[in-house]
Structure 1
Amino acid sequence: MEELIAKRYIKALLSDSDLEFVKNVTLLFGILSESFENEKFLTIMASSEISVQDKTSMLLDAVKPANSNKIDNLIKLLVENKRINIIPAIACELKKDLANLTKTYNGVISSDTDINPSVIEDLSKGLGKKFNSAISLSFIKNDFNGIKVEVNDLGIEINFSKDRINSQIIEHIIKAI
């Protein structure tokens, strides 16, 4: 639900904006959303003892380096509507929008065995060519019995399970007999 609300605010914020503004806003909200991982900050923002003006002032000070009336107005609107808590969702959606604008995506390769970095680079290039994008893949070793490639922002998931391949080979041999 927060994502839907965040998208509405982002749509208004980014209307008639260039790519540089989108990059700056994404960076700014990414940093601002990290504040929401701090318990003291969350306590201050949730406190009814702290006035709306003080909360607004705090957040405006945080975004002051951007020197943007659009961002200032968005912060004021979020505080006024008691929607400060959607700032992390706004940051997340901005990252997705920036990735779509620049066609640059990050993904993950999961496997229970180590994968050569050159193979990871080849997979990145191959997927990038297939989807006309720049895709950067990172490797995570886990207990998946095979190889799984995920690029969530593009909706891609490719996996090759050793168990599934073995069962298909057995089925094929049985059919051949």
Structure 2
Amino acid sequence: MEELIAKRYIKALKNSSDIKSMANMTIIFKTLSESFQDTKFIQVMNSTDVSNEQKLEILLASVKSVKSETVDSLIKLLVENDRINIIPALAEGMRKDATNTSKVYNGVVYSDTDIDKKIMKDLSSGLSKKFDSNISLKFIKDNFDGIKVNVEDLGIEINFSKSRINSQIIEHIAKAI
């Protein structure tokens, strides 16, 4: 639900801002959303003992140094509508939107065996061409029996399991006999 509400705010921001402003707001809201990982901060923001004016003062003080009327107005609107808790969803939505706009994605390759840097580079360039984007991949050694490539923001997950390939080969041979 929060993501849907955040998308509406993001759409309105995109319509009234340029790419550079959106990138700056993304950084601001990402930093602001990190405050929501602190339990004391969440308690203050969810407390009925703290007035909306006090919550607004806290949030505006945290972004005062950026001197952005758009950010201040958005925070005022969120406080007015009791939607302070969507700030993390708003930050994540803005990050995804910026990623989609710039077409620069990060992915992860999982495998139980080390993968050569040249192969990683080839995988990255192949996926980049296929999806008309700039995709950089990072290797993480894992107990996955094969290779798994995951680019979450693009919704891509490709995996080659050694055991699955072996069973398919056996099935194919059994059918041929």
If the length of structure 1 is used for normalisation, what is the TM-score?
Answer: 0.95
Deviations 1:30-83 (A, max 9, x none): 111111111111111111111111110111111223322111111011111111
RMSD: 1.2
Which residue of structure 2 aligns with residue 98 of structure 1?
A: 98
| SS of residue matched to 2:138 | strand
Structure 1 unaligned runs (5+)?
none
Counterpart of 2:129 in structure 1: which amino acid?
Answer: K
Structure 2 unaligned runs (5+)?
none
Which residue of structure 2 aligns with residue 47 of structure 1?
A: 47
Whole-Å Cα distance in 2 between the matches of residues 59 and 13 of structure 1? 19
Which residue of structure 2 aligns with residue 16 of structure 1?
A: 16
2:64 is equivalent to residue 64 of structure 1: yes
For the 8 Å contact 1:13–1:71, the answer to whether it is kept is no
Whole-Å Cα distance in 2 between the matches of residues 80 and 37 of structure 1? 22
Please, which moves more after superposition, 86-95 or 123-132?
123-132
| SS of residue matched to 1:106 | strand
Whole-Å Cα distance in 2 between the matches of residues 31 and 121 of structure 1? 32
Indicate the percent of aligned positions where both proteins have the same amino acid: 61
Structure 1 moving runs of 4+ over 3 Å: none
Deviations 1:134-176 (A, max 9, x none): 1111222222211111112112111101111000111121122
2:142 is equivalent to residue 161 of structure 1: no
Counterpart of 2:122 in structure 1: which amino acid?
Answer: D
Whole-Å Cα distance in 1 between the matches of residues 3 and 165 of structure 2? 38
Which residue of structure 1 aligns with residue 141 of structure 2?
A: 141
Whole-Å Cα distance in 2 between the matches of residues 112 and 12 of structure 1? 45
Counterpart of 1:93 in structure 2: which amino acid?
Answer: G
Whole-Å Cα distance in 2 between the matches of residues 63 and 11 of structure 1? 21
Please, which moves more after superposition, 155-164 or 63-72?
63-72
Whole-Å Cα distance in 1 between the matches of residues 168 and 61 of structure 2? 61
| SS of residue matched to 2:70 | helix
